[in-house]
Each structure stands twice: as structure tokens, then as C-alpha cells.
Amino acid sequence: MKNRQNVLTAALTGLAPAVWGSTYLVTTELLPPDRPLLATTLRALPGGLVLLALGRRLPVGIWWWRALVLGVLNIGAFNFLLFVAAYRLPGGIAAMIMSAQPMFVVILAALFLGERIRALHALACAMGAGGVVLLVFKGAGSLDAMGVLAAVGGALCMASGITLTKRWGRPEGVNLLTFTGWQLTAGGLVLLPFWLSLEDLPDGVTGSNVFGFAYLITLGAVLSYIVWFRGIERLPAVAVSFLALGSPVVAALLGYLFKDQTLSALQIVGMVVIFLAVLLGQPRPPRPTGKQPEETPASAPRRLTPSGEMT
């Protein structure tokens, strides 16, 4: 029964990276061009404020700085570094470097959560990275050092965010919507000064822009992060980290369906390898020990004491 619940939880949690994989298509087709900070700020902040208004509860005590740290790692810094890497690196190199994220989680989970490093996880990490290489790699060309650092930083942010979210959990009495609202708001507020100082407002806003921003705010942030944080609560941190590998797969499929991009045989093999890596990274059902269940007091045989009384 528990294994079935884990499978259902993993399937639901995997919807979040699937939605994030559509962000690339939405950004290029529906949003104003060359506005990564605008996109990431509006993706996080409005939805976070709405959830705060609905929850009517702010962090208390230690949770002020914890919410800030989680918001920066899971949303603000992660999305900013992801866009920097995507703009500076060619041919899916950013996705290839980001695929190291499960490896970071394996190490961090061992250090801070007490999760064992298993040989199966090491194999899944290698398979996941190899699958992403087959899926997105189109020749390295000249690599921008800032882009490489941004991609590594983004992977570390995501890995640290997963680990700390698992370690700290949620404060008692705070529901998942409010908890998500804290992080979205914190991440958006951190990005806000960068957007205002580094980017100009677009010349005009079209109906397609409005639809794209609405998609990013609702599905791309509020709903997907609620599902994501729910999964982190219920699954091992390492299992959640492998689910993120679904994002480049969805991005490739959407590019094939809507942008006339081709899928080679190697890319299809890469998708299969990624899927197998995700399966290997999920928790295994416990093995039966073969021991007989212990007798309960009600079912234990009654015995005579030396005095002749029944026990």
C-alpha cells in the first residue's frame, strides 16, 4: 500500500518539472523578448502575494529567515541563474550541467538528512546525466565561463533547496499553500531590484504576453510549486531530485510538436535513459524479512503458572 502511495506521489510530483519544461516554449513564443528578469519576477511575486493574502499568515520567529533562504534557493536565485546559463551557453549545455543536480542532492542528503548513498543512486545519476547529454547536446563550441558558473550555481541552488526544504519541513499549523506563498514572495522580492535596475519595461504588452504571464504565474509557479513542495515532504530528497530530469524531456517534446524541431534516434534513446534513471532513483519497496509476526497478548497461548493459575 505504501509503495503504491509513493508511486502516485512521484507521478504527481513529476508534473511540476513537466510544467517547468514548457517554460522555454512559453518564454520564446509568448513573452516579450530579452526580458528574463521580468519573466522570473512576474512568475514568482504575484502568485506569492495572492497565496499570502489567502493564507493571511506571515512567518514567525526563525521562519522569517528560513522562508527567505528557501525562497532564494528554490525560486529567486535558481531561476535567475537558470536564465543566465540559458542565454550564455549554446546547444543545451546548460541543461547538461544542470543534470548534475541529483548528484549534489545525493551528497547533501547524506550529510544533512542521514540518507544513505546507494550504488543504485550513483548509477541513476550517471544515467540521468548521460541521458540529458544525448537529449540536448549539439556540440560544445566555445563555453562562456560565466554561463558555466551560472549553470553549476543553479544546480547547487536547486539541490540545496530540496535538501533544506526536506530538513526543515513546514512549521506546525501552516498549510502548504501559505508555505508556498512565503517562498514565492521571498524569491520574487529578491529578484525585484535586479529587474528594476537591469531591464527596461517592454514597449508594449500584447494579448499573447498576457496569456504567457498568466500561464507562468498559475501553472508555472503557484500550482507546480505546491505540488513540488508536497512531493518533497512525502518522498526522499534523492527521489524528488531525479524527477526534475523530466524538464528537458518535456522541453524537447514540445519543441518537436510546436517548433518543427527534429528528434533523432539518440535523443529518443536519451529520453528512455532519463526515464530509467528516474525509476532507479525512486524508493524501493521494503523486502519481506520472512519472520513470523510476533504474537500479540490477545493471541498468545495461555499457560499455567506453578500455582495452577492461567496466564
Per-residue pLDDT of the chain (311 residues; tens, 9 = 90+): 667 888 899 999 999 989 988 887 888 889 888 888 898 899 999 999 999 999 999 999 999 999 999 999 999 998 888 877 777 775 567 777 788 889 899 999 999 998 888 888 889 999 988 888 888 776 655 667 888 888 889 899 999 999 999 999 999 999 999 999 999 999 999 999 989 998 888 888 999 999 999 999 999 999 999 999 999 999 999 999 999 988 888 888 888 888 877 888 888 898 999 999 999 888 876 665 555 444 444 434 444 444 444 44
The answer to the question of residue 253 being in a domain is yes
The answer to the question of residue 134 being in a domain is yes
The answer to the question of residue 296 being in a domain is no
3-state secondary structure (DSSP) of residue 296 = coil
The answer to the question of residue 293 being in a domain is no
The answer to the question of residue 311 being in a domain is no
The answer to the question of residue 82 being in a domain is yes
Number of structural domains the chain divides into = 1
Domain membership of residue 144 as a residue range: 2-281
Query: Would you state the cell numbers that stand for residue 154, as one nine-digit string?
Result: 543553479
The answer to the question of residue 302 being in a domain is no
Q: How far is CA 274 from CA 61, 141, 247, 249, 307, in A?
A: 41, 24, 10, 8, 69
Identify which of 158, 244, 208 has the alpha carbon closest to the alpha carbon of residue 32. Answer: 208
**For the whole model, what pTM was predicted?**
0.85
Burial (CB count <10 Å: 0-12, 13-18, 19+), residue 250: buried
The answer to the question of residue 254 being in a domain is yes
In the chain, the N- to C-terminal Cα span, in Å, equals 36
